[in-house]
Amino acid sequence: LANDRIAVVIEDAGDSDLYDPWGGRPVGFALVDGGAMVSPSEFGEIFILAGRYTFFTDRVSVISDGSDGTAVVRATGRPLPLPFIEPLLSGLFNYDLSDTYAAVDYALPADSNQVSVTIRFRSQREDAVTVEPVLHAFMYTERLDTFVKGAGFGQGGRAGDYLALVSPTGTSIGYQVPGERLASGLEQSGFLAKFADSYDVAACGETEVPHAILTVAGPGLQGLQKALAEADGTTLRTITGVVRDSGGTGQGGVRVHALSRDGEYLTRTTTAEDGSYSLAVDPSLTVDLFAFRRGDGPVGPVAAGSDSVDLALPAGGLIHVIASELDGPTNLPVRVQVLPTGDDLYSPPREFGEKKIEDNRLHVEWAVTGDVTMRAPVGSWEVVVSRGYEYELFRETVDVTADATVEVEAVLERSVDTTGFMCADYHIHTYRSPDSGDDSREKVMSAIADGLEIPVRSDHEYVNSFEGEIAELGVEDWAFPVGSIEMTSFEAWGHMGVFPLTRDEDLPNGGATKWIDFPDESDPDREVTLRSPIEVFDEYRARPDEPAIIINHPRGGQNYFSYVGLDPISGLVDNEADWDTTFTLVEVFNDSGWIKNRETIVADWLALLNTGRRIYAVGSSDSHGIAKSPTGYPRTCLDVGVDTTADLSTSLIRDATFGGNSVIDGGVFLTVGIGGAGPGEDATGTQLDIKVQAPTWVDVDTIEVLVDGQVVQTITILPEDADPIDAANRWEDTVTISPQAGGSHVIVAAYQSSGGNLSPVHPGRRPFGVSNPIFVTP
């Protein structure tokens, strides 16, 4: 559907990449300029629902080509439950629409920014059906900024006249229900549901339901609000001005926010390159303006007493950092942070919708070229430069003066010897997961800056790798891409990493295997039924990649170990029919360390080992939001025998992972062996060699040696245990163990027992390291 203003793309009938899997829904929104689609929206998915029902689309057709003034595209089909959420909703919505038939019409008039969505039901039932409650739902809401009139940004669950999905510089979308407000709703993991009034589907006839109005406009929120005002016949007041620095030069990229005098959030815009801005607001309101750009001091409130208001940023300067490795490469990829030396930083209110950096940091930059320039207000600041857990920190306090640049030359020392090991994070989400808004390039940059060599993309129900991003950034020397998926059964029986996988562009979602059966073109009468986890696992394992299943975050809710009723003492399960006896990998450490998991998932792991199964731990970040959840904590460091990405291969990574030839590194790197045999290998003997390494900024004070799941030795690491020449070598010695005659498994853990975290690099994360088991006989 297109006119001279906007375009809306409706997907044809058939298999879809969306969570609504049957086509006939909007899959693209854009502005139109000169007959071409421009500034496409990064929106995710808008469900067209009747309660828990969507529509099994059998046809999408053009009803009107617009020659009469309005273009109409129609999707027809029978109502069926929305598959991915049916296990949750079936008990809440007890009415049945499956014996009706429906048409969904999308209508776009000429010279309009609005598409009306109308559902027409045809029923031969003898009784009417009340659709209650009525759901208006959205997926992948983390990709764009959700806005509710009056509440502001970041509060999509609040009630309001409309919900907006805002692209700061591109096409935005407004969603309204004709004649009523959207009631408050719920937000969970990128799924947003709003509620509206019920309606009846009449017996023995047709019922027309005005379902929604989609307003498509841009750029940003301002473009959308102007289009809504035009549609309503409302005249807005325009406020213009220029944002300048302390020297009087106009500044681009500054966000200008408008609030009413009583504190109601109204709107925002971003200044042009010359610092100019324009805001349209309700003329009946008294308006205050605020300005914000990261690295500058805050501005406001400034009363907009006239229609022309200039704003002045506080005095500031620049910090320029160049990083290199001591006796190593220049242009070293690093994480660069700027921290206050005094008071806490200003943090814009949530309703402003500004990207937040956690833990009181002015900047966190991923300088993959080792070169970055950042703004900072006049004053004293600490610059921290790091590169993961193998390097010492560089810290320097600088004084920023007005309109000047401070030069910082950061030279980092690599102090932890990981020769022959390269580290992986198997669980990294991007905007292609419904509950993450992170740009995939940023995820790669963060991984490289934190010294992670093998970032594994693991989006929900979507096969992909970071191959394209790594090539685009030109960082092949620092990172190796591996494809995977997080197979996500929602609250059915858990989430699983499937690794490695090659994307198939000809299949929905790159080749995601269905965990729930539902009708499709090949079998339109198939029922919506939950599949067995073993059936799904085996279907993945049969692929040419020969992938393994990683049991991700196995406890809590309906995750796999809880679903099957795994006993953490015996290693036995209640639900044997769904218990897979083939998997060998468990995500024991998910954005967490040894102490947090010791009595839970670590206990599960040890119990499974005690049943005789060779089960190996992996540690991964499960990073959804880079501001709160860093990639690479923890990481799984693989004994691959090479030290450059050029020498890596997917098969080498796969085999080392499958074989348990790895240690988990949460800031502490362990080297363990018995007679030359390492983790995942068979050994003979009683002498266990242990080496504990950590950069000097990481605290570690305890070693535990476990034989057959029992702690047989606890060793306190004292400051004087460190090598006087190599300070990162915190403890190294040989201990005697007593394996059983029939064989035992040996695990070593090192950690900080109390206090201490990985600040300032990964604040709040506890230092630890764990080996995978060595299987030993006396």
Residue 754 lies inside a defined structural domain of this protein: yes
Q: What percent of the chain has pLDDT over 70?
A: 99
> 217 - beta bridge partners?
172
Q: Residue 356 pLDDT more than 90? A: no
Indicate the pLDDT class of residue 169, thresholds 50, 70 and 90.
confident
Whole-number Å distance between alpha carbons of 592 and 589: 5
> CATH number, domain at 114?
2.70.98
Pick from 343, 377, 412: which residue ends a domain? 412
Q: Which amino acid is at 439?
A: D
Binned at pLDDT 50, 70 and 90, residue 52 comes out as confident
657 in a structural domain: no
**Helix, strand, coil distribution of the chain in percent, nearest 5:** 10, 45, 45
Domain membership flag for residue 652: no
643, part of any domain: no
Among 388, 412, 436, identify where a domain stops.
Answer: 412
Q: What CATH number is given to the structural domain containing 428?
A: 3.20.20.140
Q: The tokens 């790594």 sit on which residue?
A: 470
Q: Give the CATH number of the domain where residue 753 resides.
A: 2.60.40
Q: State the pTM of this model.
A: 0.95
658-666 mean pLDDT = 98
Does pLDDT of 132 surpass 90?
no
Q: Is there a single domain that holds both residue 226 and residue 286?
A: no
**pLDDT of 280 strictly over 80:** yes
Cα Rg, the chain, nearest whole Å: 29
Measured CA to CA, the distance from residue 576 to residue 534 in angstroms comes to 11
Burial 659-698 (b: 16+ CB within 10 A, else e): bbbbbbbbbbbbbbbbeebbbbbebebbebbbbbbbbebb
The answer to whether residues 589 and 725 belong to one domain is: no
User: What integer pLDDT is reported at residue 134 of this predicted model?
Assistant: 87
Which among 312, 331, 352 is the end of a domain? 312
> What CATH number should be reported for the domain holding residue 349?
2.60.40.1120
Residues 6+ apart with CB under 8 A from 508: 15, 16, 17, 21
pLDDT in tens, 666-718: 999 999 999 999 999 999 999 999 999 999 999 999 999 999 999 999 999 99
pLDDT given for residue 328 in this prediction? 82
153 lies in the same domain as 268? no
Give the count of beta carbons closer than 10 Å to the beta carbon of residue 336. 25
The answer to whether residue 306 is domain-embedded is yes
Q: Is the pLDDT of residue 736 over 90?
A: yes
**Cα–Cα distance, 494 to 406 (Å, whole number):** 50
pLDDT for res 627: 87
Tell me the per-residue pLDDT of 599-656, one tens digit each, with 9 for 90 and over.
999 999 999 999 999 999 999 999 999 988 999 999 999 999 999 999 999 999 999 9
Residues 440 and 538 in one domain: yes
Total structural domains in the chain? 5
- pLDDT, the chain, mean: 95
Does residue 639 fall inside a structural domain? no
**Is there a single domain that holds both residue 76 and residue 44?**
yes
Mean pLDDT of the region 59-73: 96
Q: Which residues contact 189 (CB under 8 A, 6 or more apart)?
A: 434, 435
436 and 289, same domain (yes or no) = no
Residues 177 and 276 in one domain: no
266 and 278, same domain (yes or no): yes
If asked whether residues 249 and 335 sit together in one domain, one would say no
pLDDT digits (tens, 9 = 90+) for 78-127: 999 888 887 677 667 778 888 899 999 999 999 999 999 999 999 998 89
Provide the pLDDT for residue 772: 98
Dist CA 164 CA 257 (whole Å): 16
Ramachandran sector of residue 115 (left: φ over 0; alpha: ψ -120 to 50; beta: rest): beta
pLDDT at 524: 86
Q: What is the pLDDT of residues 517-555, one digit of tens each?
A: 998 888 888 888 899 999 999 999 999 999 999 999 999
Asked if residue 540 and residue 422 are part of one domain, the reply reads yes
Say if residue 223 is exposed, middle or buried (CB neighbours under 10 Å; 0-12, 13-18, 19+).
Answer: buried
Q: Are residues 421 and 566 in the same domain?
A: yes
Report which residue type is found at 649.
S
Distance CA 52, CA 749 (A): 48
With a cut of 90, say whether residue 665 has pLDDT above it: yes
pLDDT of 173 higher than 80: yes
Residue ranges making up the domain that contains 703: 667-778
Cα separations (Å) of 104 from 49, 95, 124, 134, 344? Answer: 10, 20, 18, 16, 52
Rounded CA gap, 409 and 395, in Å? 11
Q: Say yes or no: 487 and 392 in one domain.
A: no
Average pLDDT (172-199) is 89
**Could you report the per-residue pLDDT of 758-775, keeping only the tens digit for each?**
999 999 999 999 999 999
Q: Is the pLDDT of residue 378 over 80?
A: yes
In a domain, 635, yes or no: no
Q: Please tell me the distance from the alpha carbon of residue 549 to that of residue 426, in angstroms, as a whole number.
A: 11
In a domain, 96, yes or no: yes
- Confidence check: pLDDT of 490 > 90: no
What's the one-letter identity of residue 375?
Answer: R
Residue-wise pLDDT for 190-241, tens only, equals 899 888 889 999 999 999 999 999 999 999 999 999 999 999 999 999 999 9
Please name the amino acid found at residue 608: L
Where is pLDDT greater, at 342 or 11?
11
